[in-house]
Chain A
Amino acid sequence: MAIEDALASWLADQRWFAGKGQGLRDLAIVADTQLVAGDPGLRHLILAVSHDTSADYYQVLVGLRHELPGRLEHVRIGPWADGKVAYDALHDAELTKPLLAAIAANTEIGSLRMQALPEASFTTGLDSLVLGAEQSNTSLVFGEESILKVFRRLSPGPNPDLEVTTALARFGSRRVAEPLGWIETRLEGVPTSLAILSRYLRLATEGWTFAATSVRDLYATVSDRAANDQEPGDRGPGDHGTGRARVLAAEAGGDFAGEARRLGTATAEVHADLAAAFGTDQVGASAVAELTERMFRKLDLAVAAVPELAKHVDMITDAYAELARLPGPFPVQRVHGDYHLGQVLRTENGWVVLDFEGEPATPLAQRRARSSPLRDVAGMLRSFDYAARHQLIGRPEQAALNDVARDWVRRNAGAFCAGYAEGGGLDPAANHVLLRALQLDKAVYEVLYEARHRPSWLPIPLDSLAEF
């Protein structure tokens, strides 16, 4: 069996492989660099995979051993030349150490450039551990100090995340993980990021998990209260067991509003630094017309695909039309672009923002373009909505909890916006027409996405549209 075949069948099984269900037609090794000779050896491959309609690039770090120890069996790729076995080297701490050392030493091997930032200080020689795999990349933690995000699927061009975090770190921002270095190559003639090394925030928790803690506490409080109400003789005059409705998000012990407010302030700080680093601009009526035009197009597409959306079309159309009537000017700047609770970390020193790559499906130029900072605010507000509603899915008392969910969202969205304005951001309250349209646009996108990929979650955006 040729090595390409082994790689092809291995690739098709990977979570980050984009061509699922499209049939993997052609696989070619377009670059092959030896990084470590001997046993174990390390080779860096770039693969080009043609699907029925398109081509994708993938990066694979191949480890080579004559004998594969048991602990690496689960990442076996297949037989290589010289009687060696190939496997996914990211899982082998012996082979990731030289990678880290090469970054520290600013090494160039073949077309690969490994580079540390001038002020970066980090320890080499630490064992690495693969963190949970993600859609398009795999992250390795070295010791508890640095994290190397290795892009599995490559898109030619510089990575916006590296560009942004480096710029923000230069401004002394406390709101990003300090970038330490990177690995790059040339792909289709342009410098292309292969991996980014940054400071590992070891005591951090993802905002999504954190918010879920608060929601969970609130719903359990409602259930407890409801159970108490059913106890005989425990009911005052005129009280007819409306316990569920009586619980407010503000009363639950796991209240998130303080965190939401701090997150709002942190977001405003990041926006201020982005503006300082990449500049700002004002756009007028024509830009807004263009924006609403795009929103309408997306709406049409979504309605065609998801009939349940039809009953909200009038409301959404009105909101877009109201936006189109605004004269402007609107301030625009570099933004995060894909902002939600999964992109922020709560650390012991406050909130930190991750992944400035923008929406992965969007072309690079568009991701780096300026837009309204309220786009990020809208993204986060939609994320609050998801945080509250996704725990209702499949819950028997869903109907009873709906009011409570809405109250949680309202409270935390309010706190976030207040914190954002306090931190010097564009006041969401004073720009509600734009913010509302941006949220609706996001919700429409969600409807389309859920209908295609995760039908059980479709009620989340649909229910919230019903309440807009």
Chain B
Amino acid sequence: MSEHEPAIEYPSPDAVAGAPFAPPPGERVPDFTLDRPRDPEWYRRAVFYEVLIRGFQDASGDGTGDIKGLTSRLDYLQWLGIDCIWLLPIYESPLRDGGYDIADYLQILPEYGNIADFVELVEQSHKRGIRIIADLVMNHTSDQHPWFQASRSDPDGPFGDFYVWADDPERYADARIIFVDTETSNWTFDPVRGQYYWHRFFSHQPDLNFENRKVQDAMIEVLKFWLDLGIDGFRLDAVPYLYEREGTNCENLKETHEYLKRIRAEVDAAYPDRVLLAEANQWPADVVEYFGDEETGGNECHMAFHFPLMPRIFMAVRREQRYPISEILAQTPKIPAGCQWGIFLRNHDELTLEMVTDEERDYMYKEYAKDPRMKANIGIRRRLAPLLDNDRNQLELFTALLLSLPGSPVMYYGDEIGMGDNIWLGDRDGVRTPMQWTPDRNGGFSSCDPQRLYLPPVMDPIYGYQALNVEAQQRHQQSLLHWTRRMIEIRKRHPVFGLGAYDELTSSNPSVLAFVREYDAAGTIAAQRLEREYHTPVEHDAADRILCVNNLSRFPQPVELDLRRFMGVTPVECMGGVTFPPIGELPYLLTLPGHGFYWFQLPPAREEHDR
């Protein structure tokens, strides 16, 4: 070590200690499991809810949502049955990329509040049995970040090697340019340092140099800072791009996986029961690498999003046949025992069509983006309800699929009441309008002067907040909100939805997608692994089986299912508890209304009989 070897002063614990209400240095905010039994695989059963703090609830009255506002709405999320809130970036940022351009990893964006507000949010959430995860971008920072400012002005200083610098823009020529609309190269010249810096995304987002051990350590310190504040995990943005290697496309490199393994090990060692959720918009066969090694039950990220499934659900229903879904699930590899897919219908981005063929993309545009304004990048920027013409039957079918297909469902704020969008707003803002709580001013989102709102609320006659809001739907038992709540409740009563194997069933009708979710508690590798790793008995979920039958067509359909392996079982419909005729040797005949679906529990068969 030279004497110039700098101590990494950033992140410094002092930065936090000075903040009001922050816990004393070295003391942690209580873990989620303080008064509860350990639950290391909670994320495999959880229902996630994506919140845009800016758009959820404004407590300060400045027209922009904030952390205190979200905290004040936790009772609602608890009532709805949400297990985990996923926050979009909450950090100090010049907001040139929706907060994904982080200028200070250890500060909250002032519009949202401060660290104390965040700690309060975590505590209040945990009290209600809700966990909190947040977006974190490790690949790059904003060019406003002090690390970058130090790196460009003092190449020999402690941060000189924190970014990827070069004298010419020739290296890594095989890496594609991701934002082709705005960027012409992955290199940009910095006149201050007189060198080029590497960036996979916008030129104002320089990539961190993970070859540098100090960068690796600094990022882990960032994670620990938030973990110490009680956060339950991270959604890791843009993970495939951490490292660069000449002659490769600089994606999914083995060094990236090694670093993720290190993160996982450090998190597991000191912060049990947290979750790492990878964002890698790639084919399932590639994404599966981010779970890590199969034998360990997974030693990189606990979860990853399943991107291609979502457009295929839309395609299958519009085409009235199951193959778009059957196909992608057949191509989805098995994942390690402790891992889970994250699945979703809509989120804060456009409905992305990167993972479909050109032919399918044209089809999706034609069916779901009839106005050119509904498109954004390679996708469709619309909310769920308008995508489905506000058809209650389809909304229910889609939600039922989200809650029953393999993976943990991630709901997007407002979709539980069927909120609309505003295609006249720029970029993806059309799906980021204020949450509609009441028919009052600004939809109950903020008490501010309406002109001050960060975005206008939706005001059209169908989706406007006067007609469509949480308060009205809470009063009305048949509302979409109550229906969604009931479905979440059923899902949570049957952990098999999160833990069980997925097995598509033979069905005589192409418009009907039927599958069984099955979980044999004692026999799973996951259960054995938990016993082994934690040495204490972990409470197992009971064995369970659920049969899901979905009519993807708008017309009533009959279906004959081959259920012989459940012979003697009497199916019980999950919503009403009605028992159906017992399963015999012959194909099981069901009829479904247009866009109808059934969830049946298949309790154990009575002793062999009738044979």
Interface residues of B in 314-342 (CB under 8 A from A): 318-321, 323, 326-327, 329-330
Residues of A within 8 A of B320 (CB): 213-214, 216-217, 253-254
**Interface check A441, CB cutoff 8 A:** no
Interface residues of A in 193-217 (CB under 8 A from B): 202-203, 205, 209-210, 213-214, 216-217
Number of interface residues of B (CB under 8 A): 28
Residues of B within 8 A of A141 (CB): 562
CB of B510 within 8 A of CB of A346, answer yes
CA A127 – CA B565 in complex, angstroms?
Answer: 9
CB-defined interface of B467-501 with A at 8 Å, one 1/0 digit per residue? 00000000000000000000000000000000000
CB of B327 within 8 A of CB of A254, answer no
CA A143 – CA B567 in complex, angstroms?
Answer: 12
Question: A203-B326, A258-B359, A258-B363 are known contacts. Are A213 and B564 too (CB-CB below 8 A)?
Answer: no
Shortest Cβ distance from B397 into chain A, in angstroms?
14
CB of A202 within 8 A of CB of B323, answer no
Shortest Cβ distance from B113 into chain A, in angstroms?
45
Shortest Cβ distance from A319 into chain B, in angstroms?
33
CB of A129 within 8 A of CB of B585, answer yes
Residues of A within 8 A of B367 (CB): 253
Residues of A within 8 A of B504 (CB): 203, 348
CB of A346 within 8 A of CB of B319, answer no
CB-defined interface of A265-286 with B at 8 Å, one 1/0 digit per residue? 0000000000000000000000
Q: How many A-B residue pairs have CB under 8 A?
A: 67
- Partner among A213, A251, A349 whose Cβ is within 8 Å of the Cβ of B511: A213
Residues of B within 8 A of A240 (CB): none
CB of B562 within 8 A of CB of A210, answer no
Q: Which of A93, A205, A254, A349 has the most CB of B within 10 A?
A: A205
CB of B585 within 8 A of CB of A71, answer yes
**Interface check B76, CB cutoff 8 A:** no
Q: Which of B320, B329, B585 has the most CB of A within 10 A?
A: B320
CB-defined interface of B270-301 with A at 8 Å, one 1/0 digit per residue? 00000000000000000000000000000000
CB-defined interface of A429-466 with B at 8 Å, one 1/0 digit per residue? 00000000000000000000000000000000000000
CB of B318 within 8 A of CB of A213, answer no
- Partner among A214, A220, A348 whose Cβ is within 8 Å of the Cβ of B330: A348
**Interface check A134, CB cutoff 8 A:** no
- Partner among B319, B329, B587 whose Cβ is within 8 Å of the Cβ of A253: B319
Residues of B within 8 A of A216 (CB): 320, 555
CB of B318 within 8 A of CB of A253, answer yes
Shortest Cβ distance from A180 into chain B, in angstroms?
18
Interface residues of A in 19-38 (CB under 8 A from B): none
Shortest Cβ distance from A341 into chain B, in angstroms?
12
**Interface check A308, CB cutoff 8 A:** no
Residues of B within 8 A of A349 (CB): 327, 330
CB of A127 within 8 A of CB of B321, answer no
Question: A210-B321, A220-B555, A348-B330 are known contacts. Are A129 and B564 too (CB-CB below 8 A)?
Answer: yes
CA A216 – CA B510 in complex, angstroms?
Answer: 13
Residues of B within 8 A of A5 (CB): none
Can you name the residue of chain A whose Cβ is closest to the Cβ of B512?
A205
Shortest Cβ distance from B503 into chain A, in angstroms?
10
CA A251 – CA B326 in complex, angstroms?
Answer: 24
**Interface check B360, CB cutoff 8 A:** yes
CA A349 – CA B504 in complex, angstroms?
Answer: 14
CA A254 – CA B363 in complex, angstroms?
Answer: 10
Shortest Cβ distance from A458 into chain B, in angstroms?
28
Residues of B within 8 A of A203 (CB): 326, 330, 504, 506
Residues of A within 8 A of B510 (CB): 205, 209-210, 213, 346
Residues of B within 8 A of A202 (CB): 506, 562
Shortest Cβ distance from A140 into chain B, in angstroms?
12
Shortest Cβ distance from A224 into chain B, in angstroms?
10
Interface residues of A in 93-112 (CB under 8 A from B): 93
**Interface check B509, CB cutoff 8 A:** yes
CB of A127 within 8 A of CB of B564, answer yes
Besides A71-B585, A253-B367, A348-B327, 7 new A-B residue pairs in contact (Cβ under 8 A), listed by A number: A203-B326, A205-B508, A209-B508, A210-B321, A213-B319, A213-B510, A255-B363
Contacts A/B (CB < 8 Å), 15 sampled: A127-B564, A129-B562, A144-B506, A203-B326, A203-B504, A213-B320, A216-B555, A254-B318, A254-B319, A255-B319, A258-B360, A258-B363, A348-B326, A348-B327, A348-B330
